[in-house]
Structure 1
């Protein structure tokens, strides 16, 4: 048995439950799952998470199409203050059978753009919940800016993105010369 804890939002779908017709489903995270997701992604709070999905068997692949709706709180990258965020994100994921070959630490992995939305499955089952959790992580703004970010940035003497860009330095030099 594995010592690893199950994913925070695990929803297992057995491949034997999939037929020719698409399978529709919905995931609604409970309070405990929301708390665990917030901890996993270093967020102050995940208030709600709902994902609607459709699974389609496509030969060796299982394709998942869906919509993720999340209410959460993030920390502003400028002020450090928490602020509410609503995410509404479509996702597409292809589940493929896990390959038996093991990679050595020296092995290079090359990913094509279409590989970024691919997840492996094994034991004839997929975890659509973990796929949704990973889709949430990808939807998060890595440098979130709260409602007061611009004001606080000016108070701290930080430059705006336009001022700090490659032409910002030229503009500052022009101001000094002219």
Structure 2
């Protein structure tokens, strides 16, 4: 879960995370960099309030992070490219676990639903900011359309997505009665 230069890096030491309740707020430069990374017009605000809890397990500490992500973004309409104001309010849950040394690359691994929020870390630090940034990316609707979308479709001579699907030709057919 790492990027070469995370725009919103907030490293925490697993040995000192217990009971911390950090508020992560992106500054203007971080918001601009994240907006570019995610193809947004801009990010007006990005705040995550999180509560951290740790437990010791063989091989290192497990850190659970529960909280909320609130953001105000402006993203382009998927059809007309008009600017759309979007408010995001998402629950957060991450489990940071020590990187497993038993994993073999390219080995098929079965994951349970509980495993899907596990984020591996190396050493003694995990990056809560990057986890929040990736949660923001997942909360963005890539197919969001605004009020001008229909007019833009008509001007371009294309129909709605429903008119373009594999069953569009069947839509106009009527079933004959016997």
The alignment's TM-score, normalised by the length of structure 1, stands at 0.81
Change (3 A) 1:159 1:52: same
Would you say how many aligned residue pairs link Structure 1 and Structure 2? 169
Once the 2 structures are TM-superposed, how far is the Cα of residue 73 of structure 1 from its aligned partner? 1.6
Aligned counterpart, 1:17: 16
Q: Which moved more, 1:129-138 or 1:111-120?
A: 111-120
The runs of at least 4 aligned residues of structure 1 exceeding 6 Å deviation read none
Q: Secondary structure at the match of 2:174?
A: helix
Q: Secondary structure at the match of 2:146?
A: coil
Task: Return 5+ residue gaps in structure 2 as ranges.
Answer: none
| 2:64 counterpart of 1:63 | yes
- Deviations 1:146-170 (Å, cap 9, x if unpaired)? 2311232233333334444565432
Q: Secondary structure at the match of 1:23?
A: coil
Aligned counterpart, 2:174: 174
| 2:39 counterpart of 1:42 | yes
Task: Return 5+ residue gaps in structure 1 as ranges.
Answer: none
CA RMSD between the two structures? 2.4
Change (3 A) 1:119 1:173: same
Change (3 A) 1:58 1:166: farther
